[in-house]
Amino acid sequence: MSAESTGSRGFTYWRLRFRAWRGNRPFWGGLLTMIGGVPIAYLPYADMRLGNMTIAMSTTAGAGSLIIGVLLITLGLTMWFHAVVRVFAGVAAIVLALVSLPVANIGGFLVGFLCALIGGALSASWAPGEPVKDEAAHETALPEGGEGVPAPTGERPGERADELSAVTPQNNATDSTIDANGGRNSAG
């Protein structure tokens, strides 16, 4: 180790890294989907003992429940570690949650069903956020008081150069490909 290194990184560093990792994927959708898969897979095989009496929830659909539960856990992990397929994983989680109602003891007594359904919906609707812009680099000119509506930044007084502006650049007819080719397409 060098004299400049601290030897280990503090809790704050790892917390901020986890926060950044969590913000780049449908974290809560994946977590709820995995939580929903556990009761769907576990409850058909669970037994409860009350003294000498054993209560078992074993049904003929035990294998189907196990498959649905394992698939939901796998989809939750997919949402975390492969966020590109978040919409597919979300829709598949919703379909599996609906299938678990008749197959897996009312979807793990509705707990697994609701968690998987909400997790799938969160994953399907999640979109990555846009990076925060540096405010110092994008400062606009304000009137004399420094408060209120930004002053226009167009070339002429009173002209605004933004997406809501009615001033549009004029294109010449030869700027587009179709007009420059005489209206003919060339396919190779």
Closest by CA position to 79, among listed 116, 110, 48? 116
Mean pLDDT of the chain: 78
pLDDT digits (tens, 9 = 90+) for 92-121: 999 999 999 988 888 888 999 999 999 999
Structure tokens at 37: 């898969």
Q: 19 in a domain, yes or no?
A: no
Question: What CA–CA distance (Å, rounded) separates 160 from 3?
Answer: 56
Q: 133 in a domain, yes or no?
A: no
Q: 176 in a domain, yes or no?
A: no
Instruction: Give 58's pLDDT tier (boundaries 50, 70, 90).
Output: low
Q: What are phi and psi of 95, to 5 degrees?
A: -65, -45
pLDDT digits (tens, 9 = 90+) for 122-145: 999 998 877 777 665 455 555 555
**What is the separation, in whole angstroms, between the first and last Cα of the chain?**
61
**Torsion-angle region of residue 111: left (phi > 0), alpha (psi -120 to 50) or beta?**
alpha
Q: How many domains does the chain contain in total?
A: 1
Q: 10 in a domain, yes or no?
A: no
Q: What does pTM read for this prediction?
A: 0.63
Q: 169 in a domain, yes or no?
A: no
Q: 166 in a domain, yes or no?
A: no
pLDDT of residue 106: 83
- Model confidence at 16: pLDDT above 70: yes
Q: 2 in a domain, yes or no?
A: no
Q: 5 in a domain, yes or no?
A: no
pLDDT of residue 146: 55
Structure tokens at 102: 């008749």
- The alpha-helical segments, DSSP class H, found in the chain are 11-23, 27-42, 62-81, 86-103, 105-109, 111-125, 177-180
Place of tokens 């359904």: 117
- Model confidence at 4: pLDDT above 60: yes
Determine the structural domain holding residue 49 and report its residue range.
26-125
